[in-house]
Structure 1
C-alpha cells in the first residue's frame, strides 16, 4: 500500500472517530442534525481555546470527557 493511501485511511479513521464523539455527546439529536449549529458551536470552542482561559477550559473538558468515557464503559 502506498504512503498516501495509508495516510488517507488514517485520516478517514480519525474523522469517523470524531463523528462518533459528536454522536456520543448526544449533539445530533439535541440540535436535530442542524450542521450550521454544530459548526458554530465548534467555532465557539475554537475561539475559547485561543483565549486566556485555554488551559482551564482544556482541564475542565478533559475531566468531563474522561468521566463520560468511564460511565459509558
Structure 2
C-alpha cells in the first residue's frame, strides 16, 4: 500500500471511531480508546469470532444505510 493510500485508510478508520461515538465516550483519551479496542479484540478471540464479526458487519451496514437514508430525505 502506498503512503498516500495508507494515510487515507487510517484517516477513514479514525473517522469511524469518531462516528461510533467512542471518542466522546472516552473523553478523547487515546489510552482509553485503545484499551476499548483491545478489549473488543480480546473478547472476540475468546468466543465465536465468525458470529461476532457477522453481527458487527450487519449492525454497521444498518447504521450506514440509516445515515444514507437520512441524507437522502434531508432530515
Tell me the TM-score normalised to structure 2 length: 0.81
Alignment partner of 1:50 out of 22, 37, 45: 45
Aligned residues: 68
1:43 deviation in Å? Answer: 0.8
Q: CA RMSD in A?
A: 1.4
Q: Is 1:69 aligned with 2:54?
A: no
Q: Name stretches of at least 5 consecutive residues in structure 1 with no aligned partner.
A: 1-5
Q: Name stretches of at least 5 consecutive residues in structure 2 with no aligned partner.
A: 69-75
1:51 deviation in Å? Answer: 3.1
Tell me the TM-score normalised to structure 1 length: 0.83
